[in-house]
Amino acid sequence: MLKKKFKAVMFDMDGIVINSEIYWEKIEKEYARLKGLKYTDAYRRAIMALSEKELAEVLRARHGLKETVDQIVAERGVMALVIYQKEAKLLPDFLSLIKKLRGKYKIALVSSSPFKWINPILRRFKIKKYFDEIVSAEEMRDGHGKPHPAIYLFAARRLKVLSKECLVFEDSVNGVKAAKAAGMFCVAVPGAWVKDRRGMGEADLVAKHLGDGKIAEILI
């Protein structure tokens, strides 16, 4: 029954397509240290899956950073670029899954990351051909990243499908919230880096990995 329901599949990038989250934690800790801030689980939860602009606004509002939003974005951007150009690797089962889905569904990459981080991944692993649309939070006029549903609603319009016809793969609580707020079916795939899993229960399905048989039962 569910197989007939979906017309589109959307993939988050960080933590679903690539293992960037294990490198991001190192950068977050270093950036917090440079700014004299304490890196905690609460700190990480507050910024996970936000757009870089929103993240900078949170750091200014909650932690009193004096730098402008643009300065914070630029500082973090320089630190993070190496993740996407050299360090991050494709997560197991991603290629196998997307190859099986190609041609059966419309497929989109929907990421809170800017294109300067998305594009190196598309080039390094030659995976752009698998996606009908590539969507970044920097395309949102209001600047909203996840957990706001805007980015997923925007992706659905680009794919020319209804929200209820979309299945989303997410690894973060904010990502799950965004997908559900957009009225989409969400499969949460929390990696080992997701230490606080409160909120994952909002997903329609929680899978161990992209090769989980539960996913195959729905899509393949």
Q: What is the DSSP string of 22-37?
A: HHHHHHHHHHHHHTT-
Q: What is the pLDDT of residue 74?
A: 93
Distance of CA 167 to the CA centre of its chain: 14
Cis peptide bond upstream of 190, omega within 30: no
Q: For residue 16, which of 198, 193, 157 has the smallest C-alpha distance?
A: 193
For 19-78, how does the pLDDT look when each residue is reduced to its tens digit (9 = 90+)? 998 898 888 899 999 999 998 888 887 787 677 888 899 999 988 899 999 999 999 989
Paired tokens of 130: 């698998």
To which residue do tokens 């494709």 refer? 90
pLDDT tens string 105-142: 999 999 988 899 999 999 999 999 999 999 998 898 77
Q: Do residues 188 and 215 lie in contact, with contact meaning Cβ atoms separated by under 8 Å?
A: no
Q: What is the pLDDT of residues 181-203, one digit of tens each?
A: 999 999 999 876 665 566 688 99
What average pLDDT score do residues 142-154 get? 87
